[in-house]
Amino acid sequence: MDRLTELERRVEKIERYLATGNATAVVKGKKQSAKEFLLGKTVTSETQKVLALAFFLERVEGLTSFNVADLESVFRSAREKLPKNMNDAVNKNIARGFIMQAKERKDSKKAWHLTSTGEQHVENGMRN
């Protein structure tokens, strides 16, 4: 039974990596960086970068929700310029149905998580 549980955990990890579009990370067993993830996506605006990095936070880093501090931190780790107005970029993604507000606050700040539409948008290459 322990062996089955371990195998299920490993398969789940592989599926999570494959969903991010980084199959080579599974083969090498190394974690993908935020910069590597962004380089694998076609992002043309701050709003798209916020969405892509929010996806990274949830899928690669395993966060269940994220706040402004999380987004700023992942932008810095990717060595990307912070958006002029992070909340505006989040709100634009909310308006498009890609992000929604989480029920609970995180570290006393408003928190969000991706919608299934937002996840699909990133998985499908962020076209339009």
Which one-letter DSSP state was computed for residue 45? S
Q: pLDDT value at position 7?
A: 84
Q: pLDDT value at position 67?
A: 96
The DSSP line for 50-104 is: HHHHHHHHHHTS--SSB-HHHHHHHHHHTT-PPPS-HHHHHHHHHHTTSEEE-SS
Predicted confidence (pLDDT) at residue 81 exceeds the cutoff of 70: yes
Predicted confidence (pLDDT) at residue 123 exceeds the cutoff of 80: yes
Q: pLDDT value at position 1?
A: 84
pLDDT in tens, 19-62: 655 554 445 567 889 999 998 888 989 999 999 999 999 998 99
Predicted confidence (pLDDT) at residue 86 exceeds the cutoff of 70: yes
Sequence-separated (6 or more) residues with CB below 8 Å from residue 102: 64, 65, 111, 112, 113
pLDDT in tens, 68-77: 999 999 999 9
